[in-house]
């Protein structure tokens, strides 16, 4: 039998954590910093990121994300389930998101002069004694 879900409040400190995690995850991903990604994400998300980064490397590509700026973060839902808190946040942000040739650095996709706007649902998980970690990303 599944555990009961209880709604929880998301405060300003939580919101600051989500904004910080948006930038830190983007930076770690762009730098292919597997160690830092492991600290910021759950094993499921880390596995997904590792696969994506590996596919890019195999194809001779590298994703470069910079200048990430949060425009809006709206709590879609927040709940407690068994031994953890969860929060799904509609993250609206802009960044310079480029796909580069791994060898030459040539831009394959994206515009280095024009930030792209993105809206995604980021779900965060926090064990009762720990910090928020990214546990899922969905296109909005």
Query: Which tens digits make up the pLDDT trace of 27-59?
Result: 999 999 999 999 999 999 999 999 999 999 999
Tokens matching residue 74: 């709206």
Interval 74-125: pLDDT, tens:
999 999 998 899 999 999 999 999 999 999 999 999 999 999 999 999 999 9
Tokens matching residue 49: 């990121």
Assess contact for 103 and 114: CB atoms under 8 A: no
Q: For residue 140, what pLDDT band results from cuts at 50, 70 and 90? A: confident
Q: What are the residues whose beta carbons fall under 8 Å from the beta carbon of 37, sequence distance 6 or more?
A: 25, 28, 29, 46, 49, 50
Q: What are the residues facing 120 on neighbouring strands?
A: 91, 139
Angle at 34 between CA 49 and CA 79, to 5 degrees: 60
Angle at 94 between CA 88 and CA 91, to 5 degrees: 10
Assess contact for 69 and 93: CB atoms under 8 A: yes
Q: What are the residues whose beta carbons fall under 8 Å from the beta carbon of 125, sequence distance 6 or more?
A: 42, 84, 85, 86, 132, 133, 135
Model confidence, pTM: 0.91
């Amino acid at each position: 039998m599944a555990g009961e879900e209880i709604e929880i409040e998301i405060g300003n400190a939580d919101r600051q954590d989500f904004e910080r995690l948006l930038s830190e995850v983007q930076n770690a991903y762009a730098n292919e910093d597997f160690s830092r990604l492991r600290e910021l994400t759950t094993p499921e998300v880390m596995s997904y990121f590792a696969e994506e980064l590996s596919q890019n490397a195999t194809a001779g590509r590298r994703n470069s994300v910079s200048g990430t700026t949060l425009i809006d973060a709206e709590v879609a839902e927040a709940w407690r389930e068994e031994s953890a808190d969860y929060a799904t946040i509609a993250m609206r942000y802009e960044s310079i998101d480029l796909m580069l040739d791994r060898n030459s650095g040539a831009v394959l996709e994206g515009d280095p002069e024009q930030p792209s706007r993105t809206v995604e649902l980021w779900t965060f998980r926090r064990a009762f004694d720990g910090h928020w970690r990214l546990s899922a990303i969905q296109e909005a």
